[in-house]
Structure 1
Amino acid sequence: MTSRKTLLAGVTAFSAAALTAGMCINAASASPLAFSQMQAQAVTQANQVADSLGAANGGIYLDRGKAVVNVTDAAAQQKAEAAGFATKTVKYSFAALTNAKNTMDSVKNVPQTAWGIDTKTNQVVVKIYDAASQATKDKVTAAAAKLGDAARVEQRTGKLSTYIADGDSITNDQVICSLGFNVTKGGEPMMLTAGHCTNEGGTWSGGDVSGAEIVESDCPGADSGLLTRPNGTGEGAINTGQAITSAAEPTVGEQMEKQGQTTGGGSGEITSVDESVNFDVGVLNHEFGTTAKTDHGDSGGPAFDGEKGLGTLSGGDTQTSYFYPLTLELESYGLELA
């Protein structure tokens, strides 16, 4: 099998004005793959402009496939609009939001809570679940209050759970999870899934693969698990036939798809990035939240946008599914997509 080098999704250069105009005309009738490519183009171009704004950069987000650049002053607004982008004037720069999120990260031992950056609302969104203890609720609420309107608190029903039961994909005969991505390490074929799955130990099998050994298992902190692929076949593609040719960073507002052995396929929207999620197993860092619907057995399954791989499923609740970024997994383990 010929390996493809891992890279962030690259795009053909367009003028921003032509790109955004094209998005307005074509998004409604575009095929899923064409829409994915338009989103990728919008994100790349918008990030280039946002990065040029320095301290006035408020981050970007996607609105029905069209990139919006957040700005904190009139000069930045003029520059972004001159490049052809819609803008939104916001109170907080992206750096300020990142600092606010990092401040929340200093709050430890608070299971059943989560927080991450929502560039669409220019806030750190802090989620507190019913299952959290009263002491945890009070602790996190007090920390969020110190951030003023840079943060908003959402009360969530139910309980956060890592998905590691019922389903059918890869199994060690004790728990069942889903394969995320076929990868290679030093030319050797391997399988990427969730770390809270591989933490269960054993040898794994699924499809025409058997006797897969654990190479790496990281959870909490990260949520990555790497297995050998001693036999079996499989290109770098979702089981629907969608090829995965690159890894890309998630963007708020981005339309994405997922696949898992319990709930199958489906789609959703990315609602937060760089989220710290306090599962009962410990805090998982750098997760991204989505509106995709998932369930037990889907753990480790892929999130993707067209040919771009985005991440592997950690878990969630009835409203939000959390994924660990593929770019971090590839970098951490020195992997390439198969």
Structure 2
Amino acid sequence: MTSRKTLLAGFTAFSAAALTAGLCINSASAGPLAFAQMQAQAVTQANQVAGTLGAASGGIYLDRGKAVVNVTDAAAKDKAEAAGFATKTVKYSFAALTNAKNSMDSVKNVPQTAWGIDTKSNQVVVKIYDAASPAVKNKVTAAAAKLGDAARIEHRSGKLATYIADGDSITNNQVICSLGFNVTKGGQPMMLTAGHCTNEGGTWSGGDVSGAQIVQSDCPGADSGLLTRPNGTGDGAINTGQKITSAGTPTVGEKIQKQGQTTGGGSGEVTSVDESVNFDVGVLNHEFGTTAHTDHGDSGGPAYDGEKGLGTLSGGDTQTSYFYPLTLELEAYGLTLA
């Protein structure tokens, strides 16, 4: 077993870097790419610390770019602060929140609802939309009530919708979506988008690409679609020129960028992770919610943070846009970023 002395010595070795990263992130002079790189460093280091806290870890989140480590007891607080991180003492461990979220996943056939983990509030946030039927509202409310203050209910106006219309991106001449990421599989160039788009079938085209065939389409459950790239060019970059060199896991509080053919570029913040979203097409699992503004035609478009790709757009409402994690898509299909 690693001694407390050894553990604290290890923390001290990178605590100065952690503090420096936090200070740099708050600097108004940091450019977007530099901010993204420092934000990613803070998340990596905070996750390393949280990983040593075991059952006392409440997860992490970002507050204006600075990583905060949630803890459930004084010993964990001391360890995290010795490593240079701000802490927040919370009631529920991340494992407990995960169990609470998983209990909500047992509630089936409840369209127009969603739930996921918000580490900033140390709760599972349960969203119920006006478009949900009275029976669905009652069913989800009752399930959330069983979790006590480990969950909070948010009543949302409007309707959840997968975005699959308008815009001018990749198309099968029936519906229009957006290209997420250029990828390769076994050395062959391919295109990654949303599964609810490729579920529509057909042959796809866009830009200098034509005759793209569907390799795989997964929705609901996941929301991933893979297309061949029989011609045309395209490296691993957003259409702004921003290179995408890796895939990363989103963190609550993380500042992100997005692109889509209807709304173009924009920014937002991650508000929830591991969210189960009950669209009318079915349940989409492991989504992450953001404050980014998107609309019809943006489906499949990318969310990213600097050089780190995060996910492809599924849909949302007027307040929240949901993305399916890029890490899961690459793993499921055996892909490499172009």
Aligned residue in 2 for 1:79:
79
Q: In structure 2, the residue corresponding to 1:238 is in which secondary structure? A: coil
Aligned residue in 2 for 1:151:
151
Q: In structure 2, the residue corresponding to 1:200 is in which secondary structure? A: coil
Task: Tell me which amino acid in the other structure corresponds to 1:180.
Answer: G
Q: CA deviation at 1:215?
A: 0.2
Distance in 2 between residues matched to 1:185 and 1:21, nearest whole Å = 39
Task: Tell me which amino acid in the other structure corresponds to 2:121.
Answer: T
- Is the 8 Å Cα contact of residues 104 and 144 (structure 1) preserved in structure 2? yes
Q: In structure 2, the residue corresponding to 1:298 is in which secondary structure? A: coil
Q: In structure 2, the residue corresponding to 1:296 is in which secondary structure? A: coil
- Is the 8 Å Cα contact of residues 113 and 132 (structure 2) preserved in structure 1? yes
Q: What's the CA shift string for 1:299-329, capped at 9, x where partnerless?
A: 0000000000000000000000000000000
Q: Normalised by the size of structure 2, how large is the TM-score? A: 0.95
- Is the 8 Å Cα contact of residues 128 and 137 (structure 2) preserved in structure 1? yes
Q: CA deviation at 1:29?
A: 1.6
Distance in 2 between residues matched to 1:178 and 1:22, nearest whole Å = 34
Q: CA deviation at 1:15?
A: 1.8
Distance in 1 between residues matched to 2:142 and 2:16, nearest whole Å = 44
Q: What's the CA shift string for 1:216-250, capped at 9, x where partnerless?
A: 00000000000000000010000000000000000
Distance in 1 between residues matched to 2:59 and 2:216, nearest whole Å = 34
Distance in 1 between residues matched to 2:221 and 2:29, nearest whole Å = 41
Q: Normalised by the size of structure 1, how large is the TM-score? A: 0.95
Q: In structure 1, the residue corresponding to 2:101 is in which secondary structure? A: helix
Q: Does 1:182 align with 2:170?
A: no
Query: Over aligned residues, Cα RMSD in angstroms?
Result: 0.8
Distance in 1 between residues matched to 2:33 and 2:20, nearest whole Å = 19
- Is the 8 Å Cα contact of residues 259 and 301 (structure 2) preserved in structure 1? yes
Q: CA deviation at 1:207?
A: 0.2
> How many aligned positions are there?
325
Identical amino acids, percent of aligned pairs: 86
| Structure 2 unaligned residues grouped into runs of 5+ | 1-12
Alignment of structure 1 residues 123-142 onto 2, 5 Å: 123-142=123-142
Distance in 2 between residues matched to 1:106 and 1:20, nearest whole Å = 41
- Is the 8 Å Cα contact of residues 204 and 213 (structure 1) preserved in structure 2? yes
- Is the 8 Å Cα contact of residues 311 and 323 (structure 1) preserved in structure 2? yes
Structure having greater relative contact order (Cα 8 Å, sep ≥ 6): 1
Aligned residue in 2 for 1:10:
none
Q: In structure 1, the residue corresponding to 2:108 is in which secondary structure? A: coil
- Is the 8 Å Cα contact of residues 178 and 260 (structure 1) preserved in structure 2? yes
Q: CA deviation at 1:20?
A: 2.4
Q: CA deviation at 1:132?
A: 0.1
Distance in 2 between residues matched to 1:130 and 1:75, nearest whole Å = 44
Q: What's the CA shift string for 1:95-116, capped at 9, x where partnerless?
A: 0000000000000000000000
- Structure 1 segments, 4+ long, off by >6 Å, are none
Aligned residue in 2 for 1:15:
14
| Structure 1 unaligned residues grouped into runs of 5+ | 1-13
Q: CA deviation at 1:25?
A: 4.3
- Is the 8 Å Cα contact of residues 18 and 83 (structure 2) preserved in structure 1? no
Distance in 2 between residues matched to 1:309 and 1:148, nearest whole Å = 35
Q: Does 1:216 align with 2:216?
A: yes
- Is the 8 Å Cα contact of residues 17 and 85 (structure 1) preserved in structure 2? no
Q: What's the CA shift string for 1:144-198, capped at 9, x where partnerless?
A: 0000000000000000000000001100000000000000000000000000000
Q: Does 1:192 align with 2:192?
A: yes
Aligned residue in 1 for 2:29:
29
Task: Tell me which amino acid in the other structure corresponds to 1:287.
Answer: E
- Is the 8 Å Cα contact of residues 316 and 322 (structure 1) preserved in structure 2? yes
Distance in 1 between residues matched to 2:100 and 2:318, nearest whole Å = 27
